[in-house]
Amino acid sequence: MNDVPLKLFNSLTRKQEVFTPVHPGTPGVAGQEAEARVYTCGPTVYNYPHIGNLRAYVFADVLGRTLSWKGYNLTHVINITDVGHLTDDADEGEDKLEKMAAQKAQSIWDIARHYTQAYWEDIKALNIRQPAHWPIATDYVPQMIEFAKNIADKHCYELESGLYFDTATVAEYGQLARAITAEEHESEHARINTVEGKRHAADFAIWRNTPPGEMRQMEWESPWGRGAPGWHLECSVMGEELLGFPFDIHTGGIDHREIHHPNEIAQNQAFCHSDASGANIWMHNNFLVERSGKMSKSSGEFLRLQLLIDKGYHPLAYRMMCLQAHYRSELEFSWEGLGAALTRLKRLVIRIEGLNPHDRAALDNRADSAPAADMPASARAAAWANGGRIGQAIERFDAAMSDDLNTPIALTVLEEVAAFKKVEPAEKLAAIAAMDTVLGLNLLSLTRASLRMRPKDAIITEAEIETALARRKEARVQKDFTASDAIRDELAAKGVEIMDGDPFGWDWKLG
Ligand SMILES: [Zn+2]
């Protein structure tokens, strides 16, 4: 067991590759496990994250959990961009944070703090593990200036508006964006870039000077003038500072594959005096799409996680929705789809709740008697399962996750285990617990009640519902069906549906 190598799709080579750590450690020695160093492009904190953006962090979290499962000592970095990200992908437009601060007439630092906090709350609600580092871009400006000074002579040129990177000075610029041809790539840059004086359309600002006569809330002195770092520079610098080049894996949304990441790569090549990209594997999750168009920003219903919660959905239903699709596939969002994901999660939780509390105690004992702590979780789980149906299921689960994080298959394996008959319940629980360290659905602590629909605009409290249901139960015992039906109608008028007889249903449902 655990001979199955972890294979990941590398956007740079456009194929699956076996993960080979840059820092292999000493195999078999506790405390000296091989490392996995992962950098994930984080949010620009000028607004609440859209659930489509959050998909990128669920994906990065599943990657990190899988690396831990396979026995690697994970160091994960997710940055917070609080300066330098323009409203346009090009080098024009305003800084997203400066613009929002001006609109709201607030300090840019307050804006950044507020939306960083909101982002962290979403991260927590989605059960995404804390990375080792959350670097904030403005804390790294001196290092960014040093990095830029290092590459300026050979790779950059100055214009009035700032310091620009000459993309012709590095090998194979834009290789990552090979989905489109070099010419198309150039014309795409030409379309969005009109900065005068640039040598090539793809050249980009690594330092932007504050235009004469203007004042920015965030600006720093530099050898090129007073201004702010470019967004691409920030990620190169924080990655280098915290993980060192080369590190193992760089992740981000697929929207970063055409411009942001090729630009990071160009800077890394310049900094390292090498053709290497700075990370061994580049991974990108696909988009969340919403085809009906009903939920676009223009309809006023901005799809942030809190909206899902306000409509009554548990946030982990969205995590389930993400796991149901492979990260490289588009994921279509609809309320019906979210409802189906919630039901799927609920079915699992009900099965697990049905296992005896005594078995949960046995599970704890099992954890204590686990074999050698230096074994990867995957191998440990297989060792105690010791073959049999559970052991085979763990191997299939491991194979699915090792196959470029195939969560849709892994989920079905977990569901099979939850439905197994004639298997010792404690063993079942232990297997589910092990698999859930990778999927992160919190299956052992969620309850049926916690997954109940809880719309924010409900006109009746849960306590009132429970009281009415108790009265109804009493009426039914007394065979007073008129009273019982009256209570049902009373509740229905307040949006409560009573669900008798559905083994996987709730006793009632709101909304
Ligand atoms: Zn980035």
- Specify the range with the lowest mean pLDDT, choosing from 270-274, 381-385, 447-451: 381-385
CA–centroid distance, 261 to ligand 1, in Å, is 7
Return the pLDDT at 1: 45
CA–centroid distance, 92 to ligand 1, in Å, is 18
Per the CB < 8 A criterion, the answer to whether 257 and 265 are in contact is: no
Return the pLDDT at 366: 61
Q: For residues 402 and 411, what is the distance between their CA atoms, to the nearest angstrom?
A: 14
CA–centroid distance, 218 to ligand 1, in Å, is 19
CA–centroid distance, 148 to ligand 1, in Å, is 16
Per the CB < 8 A criterion, the answer to whether 129 and 65 are in contact is: yes
Residue 38 has pLDDT above 70, yes or no: yes
Which of residues 180 and 101 earns the better pLDDT score? 101
Which of residues 370 and 380 earns the better pLDDT score? 380
Taking Cα atoms as reference points, which of 501, 312, 498, 500 lies closest to residue 509?
A: 498
CA–centroid distance, 250 to ligand 1, in Å, is 9
Residue 192 has pLDDT above 80, yes or no: no
CA–centroid distance, 88 to ligand 1, in Å, is 15
Per the CB < 8 A criterion, the answer to whether 83 and 95 are in contact is: yes
Q: For residues 440 and 316, what is the distance between their CA atoms, to the nearest angstrom?
A: 9
What are φ and ψ of residue 110, in 5° steps? Answer: -65, -40
**Sign of the torsion formed by the C-alpha atoms of 463, 464, 470 and 473:** negative
Tell me the pLDDT of the chain averaged across its residues: 89
Q: Which residues lie below 8 Å from residue 247, measured CB to CB, with a gap of 6+?
A: 22, 37, 38, 39, 239, 278, 279, 280
> Which residues make beta-bridge pairs with 251?
40, 283
pLDDT, one tens digit per residue, over 298-338 is: 556 689 999 999 999 999 999 999 999 999 999 999 999 99
Over residues 61-82, the mean pLDDT reads: 97
CA–centroid distance, 428 to ligand 1, in Å, is 41
Which of residues 233 and 94 earns the better pLDDT score? 233
Please state the length of the chain.
Answer: 511
Return the pLDDT at 295: 54
Q: For residues 482 and 485, what is the distance between their CA atoms, to the nearest angstrom?
A: 5
CA–centroid distance, 349 to ligand 1, in Å, is 37
CA–centroid distance, 76 to ligand 1, in Å, is 14
CA–centroid distance, 235 to ligand 1, in Å, is 5
Over residues 204-211, the mean pLDDT reads: 94
CA–centroid distance, 254 to ligand 1, in Å, is 12
CA–centroid distance, 200 to ligand 1, in Å, is 22
CA–centroid distance, 326 to ligand 1, in Å, is 22
Which of residues 500 and 70 earns the better pLDDT score? 70
CA–centroid distance, 480 to ligand 1, in Å, is 66
